[in-house]
Amino acid sequence: MKFYSTNSRQHLVTFGEAAVQGLAPDSGLYMPEVIPSFPPHFFETLHQKSFQEIAFDVARVFTEKDIPSDHLKKIIGSTITFDAPLVKIEDSTYALELFHGPTLAFKDFGARFMSQALGYFAANEKKEVVILAATSGDTGSAVANGFLGVPNTKVVVLYPSGKVSEIQEKQFTTLGKNITALEVNGTFDDCQRLVKQAFSDRELNEELFLTSANSINMARLIPQTFYYFYAWSRLPQKQNVVFSVPSGNFGNLTAGLIAQKMGLPIAHFIAATNRNDIVPHFLQTSLFQPKPSVSTISNAMDVGNPSNFYRMLDLFGNDFNKIKQAISGYSFSDEETQAAMQSVFAKQNYVLDPHGAVGYLGLKKYQAHHPEATGVFLETAHPAKFKEVVEQILSRKIPIPEKLKSFLVGSKKSIPLQADFTSLKKILKNLSSGSPV
């Protein structure tokens, strides 16, 4: 299968090239030239397959000429080592818990798959790959832990100072080895801008083998389709299924749309956001107007210029009416998010994290007008990752899982960085040469 740039359908590369490059040379995002659709009988027997078997079937469609089947099975075996259970919250309302991986966030799926795939391609190229990742929270921890110790790779994580939780920060700033954390004096959008500037800098790309670990990379996006297939297969009722996706950079929703294009019977999507309502505003007005992000209690979604919006457009041929038919968009305040967390805990004894709460709110708002819908909202991170916020809202202690406790004892190792590209470029060049950063 070939992949094209959203800025030029004539620019075609293999999956391996798309994964290693991350961003296309023209700054476009890679998309599959064709999205194959599975036949109906594939879905009739899907409930009989394991999570790993489903993931392999989906991944093979995109990678079969780039990664041999036996090696792909090893990658899947290293990626899908934990479950993504469906938990019934209310009638026709389910939480898809995506936080049972090593860093307790949904991004473990994409980061682990990508680290193994890039390790495979780097070994074949006999080059050291430098992976850049901008994070608003969970991407940094998932990517850093996914690539920790992977041969022929170095990881540089850029994160906004003071805008991620302490536990999130500890998960990628205490590792050392091949992981470097850059604490940026700015917002997530500044971090994302710096990463994109690095990919556009000819001198830097001639000197370094750069790629991205954000959801702009197809190797991160493809494994995020796996759990949509898996969740649908485990639903007791498979008619009128809708997914509500708490969204920031919109990689997770884009992955769901790709799964739908592959034939997965999803009736509708809900783009649920916090006050950073760029996409809900677009769905109401047809105007895409990026703006500086604002801080909220669902901080991983504090994105004012979501990159994957352009993939969403591409999937629908830039047809606004088709997008509006497929996706509903709602935004919610911190006060509404807190109220949802308190209500669900009081009635169901279930602890939502602030991001999952936004997804729950989006689903309930949609179901109020579509009571026939069976709804799944994505619980993207364990509540303990936002311990202080959740404890304050629910007035109860949140136990810290053992997986998180091990990070808290480590010492933070990060490098302060001003939000300008000259500073980043100097650090990257020093990192490559082995000089002190």
378-423 tens-digit pLDDT: 999 999 989 999 999 999 999 989 888 888 888 899 999 999 999 9
244 three-state secondary structure: strand
Amino acid of residue 78: S
* Displacement of CA 111 from its chain's centroid (Å): 9
In the structure encoding, which two tokens stand for residue 347, read together?
């009635």
pLDDT number for residue 370: 97
Residue 71: pLDDT over 70: yes
pLDDT number for residue 437: 57
Residue 101: pLDDT over 60: yes
Please measure the distance between the N-terminal and C-terminal CA atoms of the chain and give it in whole angstroms.
40
Q: Which of 293, 292, 243 is nearest to 271 (CA)?
A: 243
Q: Are 118 and 132 in contact (CB under 8 A)?
A: no
42-69 tens-digit pLDDT: 999 999 999 999 999 999 999 988 999 9
Q: Which are the contacts of 131, defined by CB distance < 8 A and separation ≥ 6?
A: 118, 143, 147, 153, 154, 155, 156, 211, 212, 213
In the structure encoding, which two tokens stand for residue 184, read together?
């940026």
pLDDT number for residue 140: 84
Residue 214: pLDDT over 80: no
Residue 80: pLDDT over 70: yes
Predicted confidence band of residue 215 (pLDDT cuts 50, 70, 90): confident
CA torsion, points 398, 403, 405, 411, in degrees to nearest 10?
Answer: -140
What is each CA distance from 130 to 14, 20, 428, in whole angstroms?
Answer: 20, 10, 9
Residue 137: pLDDT over 80: no
Q: Which of 272, 267, 256 is nearest to 224 (CA)?
A: 256
Give mean pLDDT, residues 187-212: 89
Give mean pLDDT, residues 109-115: 90
Predicted confidence band of residue 433 (pLDDT cuts 50, 70, 90): low
**Is 385 among the catalytic positions?**
no
Predicted confidence band of residue 139 (pLDDT cuts 50, 70, 90): confident
Determine what percent of the chain is predicted with pLDDT higher than 70: 98
Please tell me the distance from the alpha carbon of residue 380 to that of residue 366, in angstroms, as a whole number. Answer: 20
Please tell me the distance from the alpha carbon of residue 49 to that of residue 44, in angstroms, as a whole number. Answer: 11
Greatest mean pLDDT range, 216-230, 396-410, 420-434: 216-230
Predicted confidence band of residue 434 (pLDDT cuts 50, 70, 90): low
Tell me which of 118 and 183 has the higher pLDDT.
183
Domains of the chain: 69-104+221-394 (3.40.50.1100)
Catalytic annotation, pick one of 73, 107, 413, 425: 107
Predicted confidence band of residue 432 (pLDDT cuts 50, 70, 90): low
Q: What pTM value is reported for the model?
A: 0.88
Please tell me the distance from the alpha carbon of residue 317 to that of residue 125, in angstroms, as a whole number. Answer: 35
